[in-house]
């Protein structure tokens, strides 16, 4: 029976990642997988608030965008709001099933930052648009956005509804939910990211791009959470998921393929009436295939799109977390360090993560 605190003494270094003993006191002196606690501390050092970025110039920039560009900008904001609404609400269901204090800590920081992301989109929309309520309401009326709501929530909903199922069935549903989260963090955001960064490359909507840079940096970290979880579950027999992972591999590959195709459809919807300088639906189609292959490599799975090169190498200047910076004399600094947190933190080496 699940309890809020376990009164028994348990050696959590010998517990499985999920479906083990309930947690007792929150202690962070010994770990089964210390990398998750390192990622938790890294996330805490990344804390930021959207108000730290001025959107004064973006207000006038938006008015000067073409109708096509305004459509691309607005629809991406609303889609991003959907994705982070799902994550902010869904991560506690992962935390509830873990048996490891370091996973619980990582999920707590993860959920909080997803809430910051959702709030950031509200901050942008309230600054840019005269009637922000109408913009938010329009998301619920956009069939292209709501179609994707079904895809990104399906596995969470299956997991939530699995209470009372057999342990094996719950493990299958948890595993597929973790895959779905990895896809959300590592694939589904990137058409929107690419568009936001392309506007900024063209010296427009730069405040929005700075906020998206902070969000992207966090998502890289969250991608590292799920990549590590999945790699361990796929290969460590003591965790009790290896056979399940092998059984579900065709399903997993289909999930990545379907997500990539949905994002390609999204790009076609965004660019149906025209393009923006340096970016169009054809380029994004190639980019999504490239990125999906890369995410599959990140969890140790095979590619599904053959050999595909990155058609927009300039995006690396924005998407790699350590490169999301501005000059220190600028008002909005994009690289925050909290000394009291960082003093005892060995730097996380992101080179091990395929982000």
Q: What percent of the chain has pLDDT over 90?
A: 80
Residue that wins the pLDDT comparison between 25 and 38: 38
List, for residues 54-67, the tens digit of each pLDDT value.
Answer: 999 999 999 999 99
Q: Are 274 and 66 in contact (CB under 8 A)?
A: yes
Q: Tokens 């990545």 map to which residue?
A: 256
At residue 355 the predicted structure's pLDDT band, cuts being 50, 70 and 90, is low
List, for residues 179-220, the tens digit of each pLDDT value.
Answer: 999 999 999 999 999 999 999 999 999 999 999 999 999 999
At residue 120 the predicted structure's pLDDT band, cuts being 50, 70 and 90, is very high
Average pLDDT, the chain: 89
Predicted confidence at residue 271, as pLDDT, reads: 97
197 in catalytic set:
no
Q: Are 210 and 120 in contact (CB under 8 A)?
A: no
Q: Is the model's pLDDT at 337 over the cut of 50?
A: no
Q: Is the model's pLDDT at 287 over the cut of 60?
A: yes
Domain boundaries, the chain: 53-352
Q: What percent of the chain has pLDDT over 70?
A: 90
List, for residues 80-97, the tens digit of each pLDDT value.
Answer: 999 999 999 999 999 999
Predicted confidence at residue 223, as pLDDT, reads: 94
Name residues whose C-beta falls within 8 Å of residue 102's C-beta, 6 or more positions apart in sequence: 28, 31, 32, 33, 34, 36, 37, 40
Tokens representing 240? 């009790």
Q: Is the model's pLDDT at 329 over the cut of 80?
A: no
Burial class (CB in 10 A: 0-12, 13-18, 19+), 302: exposed
Q: Is the model's pLDDT at 264 over the cut of 90?
A: yes
CATH of domain 53-352: 1.10.620.20
Q: Is the model's pLDDT at 268 over the cut of 50?
A: yes
pTM of the model: 0.88
- Measuring CA to CA, how many Å separate 253 from each of 58, 124, 259, 286? 40, 35, 10, 18
Average pLDDT in the 37-55 region? 95
At residue 151 the predicted structure's pLDDT band, cuts being 50, 70 and 90, is confident
225 alpha carbon, distance to own chain's centre: 10
Helices (H), the chain: 34-45, 56-64, 67-97, 101-128, 132-141, 143-160, 167-183, 190-201, 206-235, 242-270, 281-298, 316-319, 339-342
CA–CA separation, 219 and 81 (whole Å): 14
Which of 33, 121, 287, 290 is an active site residue? Answer: 121
Predicted confidence at residue 1, as pLDDT, reads: 65
Predicted confidence at residue 344, as pLDDT, reads: 41
């Amino acid at each position: 029976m699940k309890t809020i605190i376990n009164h028994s003494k348990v050696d959590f270094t010998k517990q499985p990642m999920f479906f083990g003993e309930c947690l007792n006191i929150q202690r962070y002196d010994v770990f089964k997988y210390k990398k998750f606690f390192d990622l938790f501390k890294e996330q805490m050092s990344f804390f930021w608030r959207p108000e730290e970025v001025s959107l004064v110039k973006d207000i006038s920039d938006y008015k000067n965008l073409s109708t096509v560009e305004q459509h691309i900008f607005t629809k991406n904001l609303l889609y991003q709001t959907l994705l982070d609404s799902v994550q902010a609400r869904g991560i506690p269901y992962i935390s509830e099933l873990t048996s490891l204090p370091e996973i619980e800590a990582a999920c707590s920081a993860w959920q909080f930052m997803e809430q910051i992301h959702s709030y950031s989109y509200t901050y942008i929309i309230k600054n840019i648009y005269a009637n922000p309520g109408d913009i938010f309401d329009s998301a619920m009326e956009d069939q292209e956005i709501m179609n994707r709501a079904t895809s990104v929530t399906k596995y969470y909903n299956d997991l939530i509804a699995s209470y009372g199922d057999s342990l094996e069935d719950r493990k299958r549903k948890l595993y597929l939910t973790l895959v779905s989260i990895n896809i959300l963090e590592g694939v589904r955001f990137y058409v929107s990211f690419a568009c936001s960064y392309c506007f900024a490359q063209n010296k427009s909507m730069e405040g929005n791009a700075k906020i998206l840079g902070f969000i992207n940096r966090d998502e890289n970290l969250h991608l590292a959470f799920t990549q590590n979880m999945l790699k361990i579950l796929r290969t460590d027999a003591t965790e009790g998921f290896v056979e399940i992972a092998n059984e579900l591999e065709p399903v997993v590959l289909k999930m990545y393929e379907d997500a990539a195709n949905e994002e390609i459809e999204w790009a076609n919807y965004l660019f149906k009436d025209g393009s923006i300088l340096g970016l169009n639906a054809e380029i994004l189609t190639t980019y999504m295939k490239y990125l999906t292959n890369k995410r599959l490599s990140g969890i140790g799975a095979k590619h599904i799109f053959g050999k595909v090169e990155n058609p927009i190498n300039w995006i690396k200047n924005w998407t790699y977390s350590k490169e999301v910076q501005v000059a220190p004399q600028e008002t909005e600094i994009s690289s925050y360090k909290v000394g009291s947190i960082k003093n005892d933190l060995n730097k996380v080496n992101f080179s091990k993560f395929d982000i």
